[in-house]
Structure 1
Amino acid sequence: MKNSPSKTNAPDDTRALEDLPAFLRRCRERLDPTVLGLSGHRRRTPGLRREEVAQRANASVTWYTWLEQGREGTPSADMLDRLSQALLLSPDEREHLFLLAQQRPPAIGRAPVEPSMAKLQAVLDSLRGAAAFIKNHRWDVLAWNEGALAVLTDYAAMPPEQRNILEILFCRPEPRERMQTWETDAHAAVAAFRRDVARVGAGDEVQPMINSLLSRSECFRRFWDVGAVASLADGRKVAMLPRVGRIILDYNAFDVEGAPHLSMVVYNPVSDSDRAALDAAISVFRSAG
């Protein structure tokens, strides 16, 4: 649909719109028209013409001209996405465009390119005094360190399709046996999962998994139907480990830079006795292997 001009400037938008025109011009002028299949002849200025950008973004020429002149109001998120594609912006430039135009970053989406898992694995392996793993927006565990195998779950022994935190939490007996506050922790996990899915817009993708859990776990169904949404950025885990005993771990979750669909969760022992319990659990795990 074409955008028609409208004068909807708000007074508090003036400062941002003063910078937006210069950014749009710079991005337009750096593009090579011949690379985009356009003629390079008879051009008085470098880059694309305004009408060419407007056509690539499916916008009216008048609307885009006004925007580049600082005479148009705040563009919609959809239009900013179309401009990002038309101007071949990088992810960082796209975010900058949103900040200039709307004074906020774009909605978080799943990264099209995965970060280096080898580098993330190296970070996990360096956390020798902690249990840590990387999970995605589906809560699939993608990487882990030895501490995680010893005190959480032996992910390495599972097929990749079974390394899902909710699957393990609700459909396997070990978590209930080990976690001393399983009911509270499981309820919080469901609320955090709902939030994570919404943040990256992955509802359609994960719906089959949700349906499967709803059909197989009465507890998951009960917690899901509550509809709670919450962050699980930090907290405390209390567990009873075979041949080791009680261990208390404080955890923190961190987004992976450049990949908002991934997060690293790190569990640190609370006290010296908990550090000793972690070391003992790792020894037990090694001996069993």
Structure 2
Amino acid sequence: MNDSERRSALGDFLRKRRSSLSPDDVGLPVGTRRRTAGLRREEVAQLANIGTSWYIWLEQGRDVHPSVQVLESLATALRLSPNERRHLFFLAGESLPPNLSPQVEGIGLAYQRMLDDLNPNPAYVLGRRWDFVAWNDAADEIFSISEASPPHDFNLIWRLFTNPGWKKRFSNWEQTARGIIAEFHTASARYVEDSSFNGLIEDLKRVSPEFNQLWLLHQAPGSLEGYKEVEHPAMGHLEFDHITLQIPNDPDMRVMIYTARAETRLKLEKYLSSNEINSPAAP
């Protein structure tokens, strides 16, 4: 889209979203009889605490530039879903800001089924702070994800720098750590007001000289994708092709997939099958 097309699309999106809401939906009195369905323009402006004329200009596709604060107010006033909020910012030509009051992170059943179907390829989902949100059996067997590591029980960064077993599993631990820390710098910059980020970083600085050293480098993020080697205490040397996918509903959540190479896949299939046979039956 050029700027004119984008502004026109923004106006169309606002009109359609406005027409889909009733006064009851947003806690306003119904008042006198309405000729058309939906909210009036002045009602949206009132809810978003912006001028009516200025809001009308937005719907008309005029060359006006709403701030991030105005866009957030419109997203709240129009009861936008996370996907709709992201679309609003895209049409307004603004980067999507972080959600400073995020809900508890989680995934739906469809995503968990996808992770399970990827077995014997290890796969897991990371949240905005690099906490493990979900995983499959293969990922748990290789990275022991379900074993909590206090005080940051399921945080990948914490384990990478404080768990000796994790360090042994990466053939090129320093290169892996450099890449992850560069990415984590970018994540933490989006959430400078999030105390959970600050607490994790301060705890890492206190217990890990290696983290301190890499954190101060402040290197630009590169690609975490590509060839990966993992040393497993039971299966031995494992080789993977690694990719990262973003979850559309939440751009701060990523799916990390390790596609096993031929020999590694055979090892994983045998190991997972053996564990299923030896595991106790459910009562």
Regarding TM over 0.5, the answer is yes
Tell me how far 1:243 sits from its aligned partner: 4.1
Partner amino acid, structure 2, of 1:227: H
Q: C-alpha distance in 2, partners of 1:200/1:123? A: 29
Give the number of aligned pairs: 275
Partner amino acid, structure 1, of 2:16: R
Q: C-alpha distance in 2, partners of 1:287/1:242? A: 20
1:276 to 256, 263, 266: 266
Tell me how far 1:217 sits from its aligned partner: 0.1
Query: What SS does the aligned partner of 1:208 have?
Result: helix
Residue 262 of structure 1 corresponds to: 253
Whether 2:98 is the aligned partner of 1:88: answer no
Residue 227 of structure 2 corresponds to: 236
Query: What SS does the aligned partner of 1:274 have?
Result: helix
Q: C-alpha distance in 1, partners of 2:232/2:248? A: 33
Residue 3 of structure 2 corresponds to: 13
Residue 52 of structure 1 corresponds to: 43
Whether the aligned pair in 1 keeps the contact of 2:107 and 2:133 (CA below 8 Å) is no
TM-score (norm 1): 0.80
2:60 to 59, 69, 72: 69
Tell me how far 1:72 sits from its aligned partner: 4.7
Query: What SS does the aligned partner of 2:146 have?
Result: helix
User: Identical aligned pairs, as a percentage?
Assistant: 33
Structure 1: 5+ residue runs without aligned partners?
1-11
Q: C-alpha distance in 1, partners of 2:168/2:87? A: 48
Larger Rg over CA atoms: 1
Whether the aligned pair in 2 keeps the contact of 1:139 and 1:166 (CA below 8 Å) is yes
Residue 106 of structure 1 corresponds to: 96
Q: C-alpha distance in 1, partners of 2:146/2:9? A: 51
Partner amino acid, structure 2, of 1:250: D
Structure 2: 5+ residue runs without aligned partners?
none
Residue 157 of structure 1 corresponds to: 147
Cα offsets for 1:140-185 (capped at 9, x unmatched): 212222222332x222233684222111111111123232211111
Cα offsets for 1:217-273 (capped at 9, x unmatched): 000010011112315441322233224332222211111231223211111223x32
Whether 2:208 is the aligned partner of 1:217: answer yes
Whether the aligned pair in 1 keeps the contact of 2:106 and 2:134 (CA below 8 Å) is no
TM-score (norm 2): 0.82
